[in-house]
Structures are given as C-alpha cells and as structure tokens.
Amino acid sequence: PVGAPDKALAKKVTKVGIIGAGLMASQFALLFVRKLQVPVLITDLDQSRVDKGLAYINDEIDKLEAKGRLDGDAANRLRALIHGTTDKTEYADCDFVIEAVFEEIGVKQQVFAEIEPIIAEDAILATNTSSLSVEEIGAKLAHPERLVGFHFFNPVAVMPLIEIVKTPATKDAALSTAFVVARGLGKNAVLTADAPGFVVNRLLAKVFGEAARALYEGTPLLTVEKAFEPLGLPMKPFQLIDLVGWKVAAHVQDTMANAFPERFYANANFHALAELPQVVEKDKAGRVTGWTKDAQR
C-alpha cells in the first residue's frame, strides 16, 4: 500500500497482547488466534469482565465448529492459545500489544502507561482508537516511536479493512509490523492521516448524524432506514448503529463534533434511541431490536 515501509523491517510477532476483554477485544482475540496461530492474552479490570470475554470467544469457536469451519482439534488448539487474566505482568513477552479499551484519551494513555514498563523495549503498541489522535494517545509513552493506530471495523471477522495510522514519532519498524500483521489477519490495510475519525468514521459520523437528525425532525425510524435503500449500503444507518453500539456511535459523534463543530452535529442525542424499542416493529427493522441489550455494553 502507498506509504507502507519495507516489510523486511517488520518484527516477527510470536505473542499478541490485547488490553480489554469487551466486544471488540474479544473479536480481536479470536481473529488473532485464528489467523496468526500465536498465543493471545486478554486482560481487563476484573476477572468477571475477563470471563465474559472468554465466554464470548468460546461461544464463537463453538459456532465455527458447529458450522464445520473448524474440526474439534483445531477448535481446541485455538482455545488453548487464548489466555485471560487480570495480571498485567503477563504482557512481558508479548511483541504486539493492541488496546481496545474505552474511547477516552485518559483511559488509553493510562493503560499504556501501566504496561509500557512491563513489555520489551522493541514491542509494538497499537491502538484501536476510532476517532482520537494517535499522537496524543502516545504523548506520555517513554517510547512513542513504537505506537501505531490499528483501527478495525465491526464485525471484525468479516470487515476487510484496517486503517493504519502513524504519528510523527512512529518508526518504520512499528509501521511495517502493523502492515505485516494486518496482512496476516487477511485484511487490507490503508495508511490514513492522524486526524479525528481518520477516513471511515468521518464518513460514518455524517451518515449517523443525518439519520439521527431526520428522526428528531419527525421522520419515523423505519422510514429513515427505507430512505437509505437507494444508496445500496449493506446495512441501513440504525442497523449499523445497533451493530456498532449506540454508546460508541454517540461517542464518535461527540468527538467529531468537538473536532469539527462546523461540520458535525453536536448533541446528536443518540441516547434517545435507547428509548425506541417500543416503537420498533421487530422483523421489519432487521437488527434494530437490540437497544436495551446494548445499553448494558
């Protein structure tokens, strides 16, 4: 890809660390073990969150087995490669560590500050931020040259794109490793500027913002969905907000509005969507039925 450094500079990845055990983190863990076949570590604030992530991963492996995508031995190998703990010292031998924690600059800086003294000096750090500045996330690192943005899309297993982001500090070895890892995961990687929303979320925040706006102007939700049909997108806007999670979508919207107040709606008020299940007719709305479940994410 344009801007990708020589892949010979890439560091060999033998163990992956994932910070977080939420929905994105669990999807990453499964993808990494399936595609790279290396040990993968997940951690979270407490054991119950770790257990929830592990349960999700095991469930997904069961589904792949039931579909005949994996035989029993392969499924067991994958299960054995994933380890969940709250003990951060276990990141010590990870050579590629990606965070998937709450989309808040302070939280992301904090988790990196905790693990940087534990990992090897040449281990690569990646952030799955979707809208924050990667440079700012790395501002407190002792070695910001090892940090890259590595932004996945939902559902992680099937979305073919990863946005890779470098900062002025990122060294070629880190960038090259990110491209080689992305390729190993079977994804297409593009190098985007370190600007709020990169490319994809800038476009999506526009779509989500206009869909929410239409709702507040009085157009019913299902009409808004129908009105998107001519665009031929694989999912309608509220289906997609449901998939991404309305809290995440709202947060991205706020970040974009803060960064570009003249271009994005402030207070798009996605939270009001949480009150919609009673007006959503199941089956007509496809996936737009998960608001209450989502509120617990």
By the rule CB under 6 A, 252 interacts with ligand CAA: yes
By the rule CB under 6 A, 132 interacts with ligand CAA: no
Candidates 10-18, 51-59, 167-175, 233-241: pick the segment binding ligand CAA (CB under 6 A). Answer: 233-241
By the rule CB under 6 A, 244 interacts with ligand CAA: yes
From 32, 56, 91, 153, residue interacting with ligand CAA (rule: CB under 6 A) = 153
Residue 278's contacts (CB-CB under 8 Å, 6 or more residues apart) are none
User: Nearest approach, Cβ of 48 to ligand CAA (angstroms)?
Assistant: 23
From 167, 201, 253, 255, residue interacting with ligand CAA (rule: CB under 6 A) = 201
Is the CA virtual torsion 176, 158, 192, 19 positive or negative? Answer: negative
Orientation of helix 72-81 relative to helix 23-36, angle to 10°: 120
Query: How far does Cα 77 stand from its chain's mean position?
Result: 25
From 36, 54, 97, 248, residue interacting with ligand CAA (rule: CB under 6 A) = 248
d(CA 123, CA 119): 6
From 58, 85, 86, 154, residue interacting with ligand CAA (rule: CB under 6 A) = 154
Is the CA virtual torsion 46, 103, 31, 66 positive or negative? Answer: positive
By the rule CB under 6 A, 169 interacts with ligand CAA: no
Candidates 133-141, 152-160, 166-174, 179-187: pick the segment binding ligand CAA (CB under 6 A). Answer: 152-160
By the rule CB under 6 A, 207 interacts with ligand CAA: no
Beta bridge partners of 165: 149, 192
User: Nearest approach, Cβ of 42 to ligand CAA (angstroms)?
Assistant: 17
Candidates 117-125, 138-146, 156-164, 217-225: pick the segment binding ligand CAA (CB under 6 A). Answer: 156-164
By the rule CB under 6 A, 158 interacts with ligand CAA: yes
User: Nearest approach, Cβ of 264 to ligand CAA (angstroms)?
Assistant: 14
By the rule CB under 6 A, 155 interacts with ligand CAA: yes
160, 188 in Cβ contact below 8 A?
yes
User: One of 83, 143, 151, 251 is an active-site residue; which one?
Assistant: 151
Q: For residue 255, with 0-12 CB atoms within 10 Å meaning exposed, 13-18 middle and 19 or more buried, which class applies?
A: buried
Give whichever of 116 and 294 is closer to ligand CAA, judged by the CB atom: 294
By the rule CB under 6 A, 178 interacts with ligand CAA: no
d(CA 57, CA 75): 11
**Which residue of this chain has its Cβ atom nearest to ligand CAA in the complex?**
130
Catalytic: 143? Answer: no
By the criterion CB under 6 A, which residues form the site for ligand CAA?
130, 153-155, 157-159, 201, 204, 234-235, 240, 244, 248, 252
Active-site positions read 151
